[in-house]
Amino acid sequence: MDHLDEAIKNTITAVDQGRNQIIDIAHDARLQRDELMARIVEVKAEILKVITQLDRLEYDYALARKHLMDINGKFATSSASEMQAAYEEAHHLKLELMAMHELESQYRHSQDQLELMLRNTTETLTKAEKLETHVGLATQLMAGGLQNVNIKLDEMQPRQQLSVRIIKAQEAERLRVAREIHDGPAQSMANVVLRAQICEKLMVVSPEKVKQELHDLKEMVKDSLQEVRKIIFNLRPMVLDDLGVVPTLRRFISELKKRTDINIELIVLDGEKQRLASALEVAIFRIVQEALNNIHKHAKARRSVIKLEILANRVNITISDDGCGFDTKQFLLPMENESFGLLGMRERVELLEGEMEIKSVPNRGTEIQITIPIKR
């Protein structure tokens, strides 16, 4: 037995060392990912600058060519120096255009390379974090002297799988938000800077065009503001703190109906204006949000009904749809399917000491019944 304990101790030490290396790899990958995303934003901003300069050069080159053609057409009255100057000006602008096109090509090549590196780095980070979690579980099991291993595995497997999926979902959410900011507001802000620079130049050379440019700039800022508000709402709806869970759900459902073909109906049986503890309101909103997202992504439903009842001592939630349904015996097997949404909902309900029941039959829809106690 002593030899076994010694072997386990040595193994744990080796595994811990390997886990620390995995943590370092994940940390480095996370830093590299953030740097790559920042660099991509910079490269895109440079591409926009080049495109703006190309537009100006194209315009100047067209004027220079026209001027050269006019002088050639007046060959008898034009001096040799005028013809030479017009030719050199057109030739110079042509060379600038060629150089600028080459610079644009280089920047776009850099963007493609950076985006490829970003995808590879993100894959490495995901694998490292998943492996880190698995190794941590193995260390915990060995540290316990491998007593009752089978029992511990049976008890820890669902929680472990849920933890892995929570980590995976958190990282996916961070990446989604980063991409939304990168592709939306960050890009728009770069465009705003360039548009402002164009307005500065037009004030000198063509003041009559400034009004249209300012109008376009205003519309661009309005669109950016709308994108930022959408990102903020997805992260944490401010209306949830101000007005409560029912108005927040109505707004979320209204926005979701615009993006899908699902007829969604919210029925508040009782407690329309009742306010609850902040944590409970957040949990109710996230549960319904996750359920509707699952219906949108997987159920192929045409109609969904959410019934909400806020009583003195409990909250009752019923979410039903007429979608394709599924085998409820399989949804708690995370290794078999991507059911994190349902597992996450159940986890939220259990943390609030509530109960969740799922009734579903393949091709006959699904109904989720949730009861959460209210503690005064």
* Whether residue 278 is found in the same domain as residue 296: yes
pLDDT at residue 5 in the model: 61
pLDDT at residue 150 in the model: 46
Q: Which of 180, 204, 234 is the last residue of a domain?
A: 234
241/236 Cα distance (integer angstroms): 9
pLDDT at residue 335 in the model: 42
Handedness of CA 356, 338, 170, 149 (dihedral sign): positive
Q: Quick one: how far is CA 127 from the chain centroid? A: 19
* Whether residue 223 is found in the same domain as residue 249: no
DSSP state letter for 298:
I
Contacts of 277 (CB under 8 A, 6+ apart): none
pLDDT at residue 86 in the model: 81
* Whether residue 85 is found in the same domain as residue 15: yes
* Whether residue 216 is found in the same domain as residue 309: no
Give me the residue label for tokens 């963007």. Answer: 111
Cα-trace Rg, the chain? 31
DSSP state letter for 365:
-
CB 7 within 8 A of CB 110: no
- Give the C-alpha distances (Å, rounded to integers) separating 163 from 22, 26, 285: 18, 17, 21
CB 173 within 8 A of CB 207: no
Q: Which of 212, 234, 256 is the last residue of a domain?
A: 234
pLDDT at residue 165 in the model: 61
* Whether residue 53 is found in the same domain as residue 136: yes
Q: Whole domain around residue 317: which residue ranges?
A: 238-373
**Helix pair angle (278-294, 340-351), 10° resolution:** 160
Number of domains in the chain: 2
Range 59-91 burial, b when 16+ CB lie within 10 A, else e? ebbeebeeebeebeeeeeeeeeeeeeebeebbe
Q: Which of 234, 256, 285 is the last residue of a domain?
A: 234
Q: CATH no. for residue 289? A: 3.30.565.10
pLDDT at residue 13 in the model: 72
* Whether residue 119 is found in the same domain as residue 266: no
* Whether residue 247 is found in the same domain as residue 168: no
* Whether residue 173 is found in the same domain as residue 299: no
* Whether residue 144 is found in the same domain as residue 272: no
CA dihedral 327, 332, 336, 339 (to 10 degrees): 90
* Whether residue 121 is found in the same domain as residue 225: yes
CB 188 within 8 A of CB 146: no
* Whether residue 181 is found in the same domain as residue 249: no
pLDDT along the chain (376 residues), means of 10: 62 72 82 87 86 85 83 72 83 88 89 89 84 70 52 53 60 66 71 76 76 80 76 68 87 88 92 85 89 88 94 93 83 48 81 90 91 86
pLDDT at residue 235 in the model: 65
pLDDT at residue 315 in the model: 94
Q: Which of 171, 153, 223 lies closest to 26, judged by CA?
A: 171
* Whether residue 200 is found in the same domain as residue 275: no
